[in-house]
Amino acid sequence: MAKKYNTVLYTGMTNDLQRRVYEHKMKITPGFTSRYNVTKLVYFEEYEDINETIDREKQISLPDIFMKD
């Protein structure tokens, strides 16, 4: 997900993408996305295996690529 103009990026995983995007847009859960107004879905990947999902998130969430609190 990204902030307007893609200046802040957030990565995460969920088992219900539609619900999770809604939660971010409505700022239901306080945290990184609420604080930085991250509301725009820019990319997603779908996996059946949770271990593959976790490995992929770690791969694209490297600290030097995306800075996340």
> Along the 69 residues of the chain, how does pLDDT read in single tens digits?
766 666 788 888 999 999 999 999 999 988 888 888 888 899 999 999 999 999 999 888 766 554 555
Structure tokens at 38: 């991250």
Question: Which pLDDT value is given to residue 60?
Answer: 85
Helices marked H in the chain = 17-25, 32-35, 50-60
Cα 41 to the chain's mean position, in Å? 8
45-69 core/surface letters (b: 16 or more CB in 10 A; e: else): eeeeeeeebeeeeeeeeeeeeeeee
* Cβ atoms of 4 and 24 closer than 8 Å: no
| pTM beyond 0.75 | no
Question: Which pLDDT value is given to residue 6?
Answer: 65
